[in-house]
A and B are shown apart, each in its own frame.
Chain A
Amino acid sequence: MDGERLTFDVYEVFAQTDPLGPHQHQFSLLASSPEMAMALAQENFLRRREIYSIWVVRRDQIVKSGPKERERFYRLKKSYRLTEDYRYLADKWRRYRQAPMTPETMV
Chain B
Amino acid sequence: MADAQSAVSEEKAQAALQELLWQLADDDLLVGFRASEWLGLGVHIEEDIAFASIAQDEVGHAQRYYGLLEGLGLGRADDLAHLRPPESRRNSVLLEWPNGEGQYFEAPRYDWAFTLVRHHLYDVFEIIRLEGLVHSHYSPLAETAAAILGEKAYHRDHQELWIDRLWRQGGEARQRVEAALALAAGLAGDLAETDPWTDLWESSGWWPGARAARDRWHQAVTEFWARYGVTVPPWGCPGNGRAGRHTPHLAQALAVLSEVYRQDPTAGW
- What 0/1 pattern do residues 191 to 227 of B give for CB contact below 8 A with A? 0000000000000000000000000000000000000
Closest 5 CB pairs of A and B: A74-B150, A72-B154, A76-B147, A72-B153, A76-B151
Contacts of B153 in A (CB 8 A): 71-72
Please name the residue on chain A nearest to B64 by beta carbon.
A76
**The residue from B56, B60, B151 contacting A74, defined by CB atoms under 8 A apart:** B151
Shortest Cβ distance from residue A81 to the other chain B in the assembled complex, whole angstroms: 8
Residues of chain A having any CB pair with chain B under 8 Å: 71-72, 74-76, 78
Contacts of A71 in B (CB 8 A): 153
Shortest Cβ distance from residue A18 to the other chain B in the assembled complex, whole angstroms: 27
Inter-chain contact A72/B157, CB cutoff 8 Å: yes
Query: What are 16 A-B contacts defined by CB distance under 8 Å?
Result: A71-B153, A72-B154, A72-B157, A74-B150, A74-B151, A74-B154, A75-B57, A75-B150, A75-B151, A76-B57, A76-B60, A76-B147, A76-B150, A76-B151, A78-B56, A78-B60
Shortest Cβ distance from residue A66 to the other chain B in the assembled complex, whole angstroms: 13
Inter-chain contact B154/A76, CB cutoff 8 Å: no
Identify 4 new A-B residue pairs, CB closer than 8 A, beyond the known A75-B151, A76-B151.
A74-B150, A75-B150, A76-B57, A76-B148
Contacts of B150 in A (CB 8 A): 74-76
Contacts of A72 in B (CB 8 A): 153-154, 157
Q: Bound state CA distance, A43 and B85, in angstroms? A: 70
Please name the residue on chain A nearest to B156 by beta carbon.
A72
Shortest Cβ distance from residue A23 to the other chain B in the assembled complex, whole angstroms: 20
Contacts of B147 in A (CB 8 A): 76
Shortest Cβ distance from residue A91 to the other chain B in the assembled complex, whole angstroms: 16
